Amino acid sequence: MAEAQFRFSPRPNRAHEIRWHSWGPEAFEEARAAEKPILLSISAIWCHWCHVMDETTYSDPALIARINEAFVPVRVDNDQRPDINQRYNMGGWPTTAFLTPAGEIITGGTFFPQDQMGAVLDQVLDYWRQHKDEIKDQLTPPQPPPLDTGRTEPDNQVVAGIVESIRQQFDRAYGGIGLAPKFPLPEVWELCLTYFTATGDGWAAGMAVRTLDAMAGSSLFDGVAGGFFRYSTTREWSAPHYEKLLEDNARLARLYLRAFQILGDDYYRQVADAVLAWANRTLMNPRGLWGGSQDADEEYYRLPPEERQRRPAPAVDPVVHTNWNALMISAQLLAAVLINPQTYAAVALTALEGLWDLMWDPQEETLYHFYTDRPMLPGLLVDVVDLSQALLDAYEFTGDAEHLHRVRQLLAYADRHLRDPEGVGYFDQIERPQAQGRLRHRQKLVSENAGLGLVLHRLGSITEDEELMDRAEALIAAFSPAAQQQGAFAAAWALAADRTAAPPLTATVVESPTRSGRELRQAAFGIFDRNRALRTLATDDPAFAASGFPDLPMPALYLCRGSACAQPVTSPEGILGALEQLAGMAAAPQVREG
């Protein structure tokens, strides 16, 4: 049973001899009936130290017997259950947490070596015997984030404060945040680049450039196969943990493409191309979707390049995750206009159709998180956010309004099941009255609410729906105090807040059934602007008649900043001139009448 249900180290081990339970009512009922504490192991298939713990600590015969006798062991896959990881992670993977039968944390940590685990088990059992009557039924609700429900617009000073927090923690010698271990944190550097375009702050751009150059030029980047490893254990990015995650590489590909758009350095485009090529070559399955990760095989990655190429590559986790695939789709669509449309456009659009067909149940109107032999785990806000963003990108890239229809379906789903009916914001998961432990308490996460606000704002901008944009601004604004507390780790919130405050750039492509605006549309999709909305109007669409745009020229692109519009553009080469015209109009002094 254990071998079929749980995923252990691929190397020889005896971890399957522990009588692991899945997270669910049976495990918690057994713990209550037997009055035993729960040993919760949160692992990941890509995690090196999870494998080591399987091969050592969880393969020790005495420890196996002790755990089976005195505990109810529960094993959770981090990638498949991010909701559990969010509530119980003790600072990394593996997480080793000891819980009461009600699901409250007694104590815990991450990796426990074989020679220390016995003492840890003794300490937990001693505490449990002494205090079980007073703690066995306790389950403390989480502290809700501080919200400002009266604010209707995000606070720009909070955005500036987050950038200042990044500046204070920036490693001037090697780039990145802090010393060691060091993680890429793509949203942090995208925020710095965006802030530079908004304010001209050269320090912000310099921090991003120093970090991007350091990461791509270090051992964090796999110069043989492509792709970034998850993080470095050293300050100078020289000693990576060798797992490669789809999520990280999708975000990093987007970051390097964004850097190319803003700074014009072709090196960044080359890095992104190598990342995306690795993902398509290594992680993609026959459905045209991507698996979640590639294993951390230290021996393999330390081989000379010529020997690596003769060895089988590390294993790929075939499980498909909605949010990570959506992030990769968005990155590939941006690459289609900045690198190669023949390579990346078909990959992205095929994947988007496949992901929608796989994860959205039209009968139940439900979105699922991951797929093995069937879709699993419905109702996570992060999936709604990232899939909606990919659909909005696909609409802007293709002009196909079906993508907007699907975004509205996802937002309706979120409003029905995730929106707080008595307050502000959206919960991270659907309500599960019979959930165990801390899953009983839904949470409002800053980054996910900012992401949903960004979806609302983008949809409102495309469809000229002021109510949606007002909702978006109020939602993002409400989380200003929570974002201020998080500092640099609220970079995703700051990016959403900055967009709503930026002057809007509306790009409208007018086309007819016989005169496609595809080239203009894709060229406009490649424009970076902090608050750009790209929409398509066909002359046979009733919305065109109400738009006020002329029939000729055809096709045409209209670029407008607020109420000021440049002359219509009829070829991609004319876009730069139109943007310069808009900039000149914005800089021109305003003449008062009368």
Measured CA to CA, the distance from residue 473 to residue 498 in angstroms comes to: 10
Q: Which two tokens stand for residue 105?
A: 């944390």
pLDDT of residue 275: 98
How wide is the angle at C-alpha 87 spanned by C-alphas 82 and 90, nearest 5°? 100
Pairing between β-strand 244-245 and β-strand 293-294 as defined by DSSP bridges: antiparallel
CATH of 2-135, one of 3.30.200.20, 2.40.50.140, 3.40.30.10, 3.40.50.620: 3.40.30.10
Phi, psi of 318 (to 5 degrees): -80, -5
- Residue 42 binned pLDDT confidence (cut-offs 50, 70, 90): very high
> Would you say 375 and 361 are in contact if contact means Cβ atoms under 8 Å apart?
yes
pLDDT of residue 82: 97
pTM of the model: 0.97
C-alpha atoms less than 13 angstroms from C-alpha of 13 in its C-beta half-sphere = 21
Q: In this prediction, what percent of the chain has a pLDDT beyond 90? A: 95
Rounded mean pLDDT of 155-167? 97
Measured CA to CA, the distance from residue 464 to residue 235 in angstroms comes to: 47
Which top CATH class is 156-502? mainly alpha
Q: Which two tokens stand for residue 161?
A: 């404060």
512-553 pLDDT, tens per residue? 999 999 999 999 999 999 999 999 999 999 889 889 999 999
Residue 4 in this model has a pLDDT that exceeds 60: no
DSSP H or E segment with residue 82: helix 82-88
Phi, psi of 533 (to 5 degrees): -120, 130
Residue 422 in this model has a pLDDT that exceeds 70: yes
Rounded mean pLDDT of 539-568? 93
Q: Which two tokens stand for residue 103?
A: 């699901």
Lowest mean pLDDT among 67-81, 252-266, 577-591: 577-591
303-349 pLDDT, tens per residue? 999 999 899 999 999 999 999 999 999 999 999 999 999 999 999 99
> What is the 8-class DSSP label of residue 541?
S
228 or 588: which leads in pLDDT: 228
Q: Which residue has the tokens 């950038």?
A: 163
C-alpha atoms less than 13 angstroms from C-alpha of 257 in its C-beta half-sphere = 27
Asked, colleague to colleague, whether 2-135 and 156-502 share their fold, the answer is: no
User: Across the strands, what pairs with 509?
Assistant: 536, 557
Measured CA to CA, the distance from residue 400 to residue 369 in angstroms comes to: 25
pLDDT of residue 586: 79
Q: Pick from 232, 335, 214: which is nearest to 277 by CA?
A: 335
Residue 477 in this model has a pLDDT that exceeds 90: yes
Give the start-to-end residue ranges of the domains of the chain.
Answer: 2-135, 156-502, 508-587
How wide is the angle at C-alpha 276 spanned by C-alphas 244 and 221, nearest 5°? 45
Range list of H helices, 184-233: 186-199, 202-216
- Residue 594 binned pLDDT confidence (cut-offs 50, 70, 90): very low
pLDDT of residue 590: 55
Q: Which residue has the tokens 């990769």?
A: 328
User: Across the strands, what pairs with 537?
Assistant: 510
Rounded mean pLDDT of 385-389? 98
- Sequence-distant (6+) residues with CB within 8 A of 556 are 509, 510, 517, 520, 549, 568, 569, 570
Measured CA to CA, the distance from residue 121 to residue 108 in angstroms comes to: 10
Residue 592 in this model has a pLDDT that exceeds 80: no
